Chain A
Amino acid sequence: MFPERSKEKSQYRDGFEVFLTAQANAPQWLASLRERAFAEFERLGFPTIANEEWKYTNIAPLAGQAFRRGSLEGVDLAQVRRQLRIYPEAERSRLVFINGVYVPEFSVIEGLPAGVVVTNLAEGLATRQEFLEANFATLADFENRAFTALNTAHANDGALIVIPRGKVVETPINLFFVTVASPIAQVSFPRVLIHAGEASIATVVENFLTLGETTPDTAPAFTCPVTEIRVGDGANLEHYKVQKESLRTFHIANTFADLHHTSVLNSNSISLGGQIARNRIAVAFKAEGGEMNAKGLYYATGKQLMDSRLEVDHAVPNCTSQLLYKGMLDDKARGVFNGKVFVRHDAQGTNAIQTNKNLLLSQTARIDTKPQLEIFADDVKCGHGATVGQLSQDELFYLLSRGIETQAARNLLTYAFAHELVEHIKIESLKEELDRTISSRISSTEHGFE
């Protein structure tokens, strides 16, 4: 029916076979997991806009592109070292991956409390096989999910983070997934597994970025990450994801999180980069008293398409979820938001709030938002709200009346809209850096008003 569809698949099949051969030493469970995942990907193929989940996000440009698995070949590591900006909080605790490959010489893990494991996945496979066999891919269900299946089939490296019971890790654990701009189209499959043990406290930051100039010769890149997070009983995990990849990059990410008894997950997502960037977070409450706060900002300009999806499954009673996602869309950018909150039959006492606010900064920007609620329990407090608009004329007038120039006033208000999602970031230098990036992006664009 779709001849190009079989081409896409076979293209990934070749790569998969080469990969399996290279990974001949992988344990049996992993090899069979990969094969099952790949079979599922082949069964599904890439989703099209006929699929409700992909209605507004057309990935035809990604599906039609051939990619080679990322490597360090041709990468000037010295130059990467000069260009890679490591914020002070990441000085002593970071893992760095370039084109999907772990680079030990750029990575540092020091001074973490005893028993805390922060290692790359390949290393983890050698030293913590049993743990991985029991926990790897247990949350990231790839059935009917083409990209999770694709990652599960191909992932060979990423991060393994295990916080043992009662440990408090004060320094944030930082992951850098770097793509180096290249004339060869490359794909990487970062995989992260985070286990926050009972009553532990930790912060994990995932940074996705591109280094090197994007020139007309730069080939598209594809980043397809999967993160699995288990927040144990009474644990508190702060999770950040900052995506600043180049405009030639396709970024299709899936994060899965299980929240156990009275655990807390604070999820923060900032999306600035990518040609097509899609970020999906699926959270499931496994026991009572869980709390999830998800905050997200997507700021798209040019012809970027940014798709944010959140799925919250209130399967058990007395859990709280609060979602606040804001979008800023300029030029011909497109934004997509889909929040899904399920409150199942037994989930009495659920408190679920979902808010999506969008600011359209140009006449040609577009937003498609769908904050949905499915509720099957009666003693619940659920609400959702969505707004689409432009800067308030009253607020603008207030500033103008005080002698602030139009453009400056607009920039100030636009900045204020975004700031709500940056100000709560607890990693000081990351916050400052994002603040700078966002303000300079705001002031560099002449909005097409009046």
Chain B
Amino acid sequence: MDTLTALATQEYKYGFTTDIESDVAPRGLTEDTIRLISHKKGEPEFMLEFRLKAFRQWLKMTPPTWPNVTYPEIDFQDIIYYSAPKPKAKLASLDEVDPELLDTFAKLGIPLNEQKMLANVAVDAIFDSVSVATTYKEKLHEAGVIFCSFSEAIRDYPELIQKYMGSVVPVSDNFYAALNSAVFTDGSFCYIPKGVTCPMELSSYFRINNPDTGQFERTLIICEEGASVSYLEGCTAPKFDKNQLHAAVVELVALDNATIKYSTVQNWYAGDKDGLGGIYNFVTKRGKCAGKNSKISWTQVETGSAITWKYPSCVLLGDNSVGEFYSVALTNNMQQADTGTKMIHVGKNTSSTIVSKGISAGKSNNSYRGLVKVLPNAENARNYTQCDSMLIGHDCGANTFPYIEVQNNSAQIEHEATTSKISEEQIFYFLQRGIPQEDAISMIINGFCKEVFRELPMEFAVEASRLLGMKLENSVG
């Protein structure tokens, strides 16, 4: 038990706030707030209409109650829906960026400054809703890849936005998606033209800063015929006692022969050991394999947030399209996670793979919820699902809610689930060979998760494996 306490008292490594004057909207949400956001951002008319349509839908909806999580009711009128660092003239180089901001990034370990030399990664850093710096634009520009903030995209590529925004996650999809559609402030936009393989991995760090700001990002990635891209999303947030709502929407569109790989490492503030504070992470992520032979692959390592409610999904419309979902979800202390995926088989010869690893420790509750649906015309659909749970300690919970709905007899569906713990025999084996317990546990956990880790891009895989080790330090004993 001492070891558990030791873990629980471990401070959140990224708990700090940056003091930058913000341009803040008044608390609460009305049509006026939405008009204000749209006006502040200088958006065209169609955006305001999109937002208002979503808002009117949202008013008719109620928050979902089916996830296996509990939390106090959210007062949506007590949230500030817009805050932006004081407007400045467009920055030409990193030197013009607020040094304090750069300092924050340095603390977070985003190699924005050194990145050009060190890593072959372009970063679109979101700092409290507005993009402040975007790098590697030129190189991407050469390849014809558009990678910019959502606001810029609305300004510069309104046709693409109008065509694809809301085409995967409609405004009325669910309560939080509708809310996001009404009030989102910024996000990332990515367009890979026909036949182009994106020359580098695209990455966007999201960071929540202002204490009362709900974060509503929106990401849209479009892969034209034969194009491919790998996108990384990583998150850390400063420590606050007041719960923060995060309701993002991510839409992916893959046309014929296109491939999108979307990887996430999420390590937001999870609240303290008594469950005080922490982020509410209510996210709608969905990809549409619109074209033939297209492929969308989701990989996620979820270790943070007080509550995670997230189902990165694939709609397999195109014939021969492929959907994948690889997930590691770790919960500790009072964290709650209800996460999984949906694979909707519509086209012929579609296949999907789901590998989910849930690790529960402390007093946390970890649920896998997945849907595999085969529609009547989806000939020869194939799904393989494996969801394994590991329990560490006896105060936590691991749940599995797989939904399998099959309406075509040529489908082959397999679902397997197991539950295990780190056994004394395993630990003994390591100890006997002179490997300390901490390392042993880290290795066992890494072994448990390896099918997921090997799907991650290299840098992320290393980070993720370290992160799990850190999160579980001392929790087995």
Contacts and interface: CB of A to CB of B under 8 A. Distances in A.
A360 B418 contact: no
A382 B415 contact: no
Given A345-B395, A388-B411, A370 B421 contact: no
Secondary structure dominating the interface of A = strand
Interface residues of A, number: 36
Contacts of A383: 416-419
B412 A389 contact: yes
Contacts of B408: 360, 363
Nearest to A367: B406
Contacts of B376: 363-364
Interface in A176-214: none
Nearest to B421: A378
Nearest to A337: B404
A368 B405 contact: yes
Contacts of A361: 409
B409 A381 contact: no
Contacts, number: 110
B66 interface: yes
A287 interface: no
A334 to B, nearest CB: 9
Contacts of A367: 404-406
A379 interface: yes
Nearest to B393: A378
Given A378-B392, A379-B394, A385 B406 contact: no
B439 interface: no
B394 A389 contact: no
A361 B394 CA distance: 44
A362 B419 contact: no
Nearest to A338: B403
Contacts of A377: 391, 394
B210 interface: no
Contact of A376 (B392, B396, B413, B421): B396
Given A348-B394, A375-B391, A375-B397, A388 B404 contact: yes
A375 B421 contact: no
Nearest to A363: B409
A220 B409 CA distance: 30
B78 to A, nearest CB: 30
Nearest to A341: B400
Contacts of B417: 371, 373, 383-385
B407 interface: yes
Contacts of A385: 414-417
A377 B390 CA distance: 10
A416 to B, nearest CB: 18
A87 to B, nearest CB: 34
Interface of B: 66, 376, 389, 391-421
12 contacts: A366-B405, A367-B405, A368-B404, A373-B389, A374-B398, A376-B397, A379-B394, A383-B418, A384-B400, A385-B416, A388-B411, A390-B412
Interface of A: 52, 56, 345, 348, 358, 360-390
Given A345-B394, A348-B394, A390-B410, 11 more contacts: A368-B405, A371-B417, A372-B400, A374-B399, A375-B419, A376-B394, A376-B397, A377-B391, A378-B394, A380-B391, A390-B409
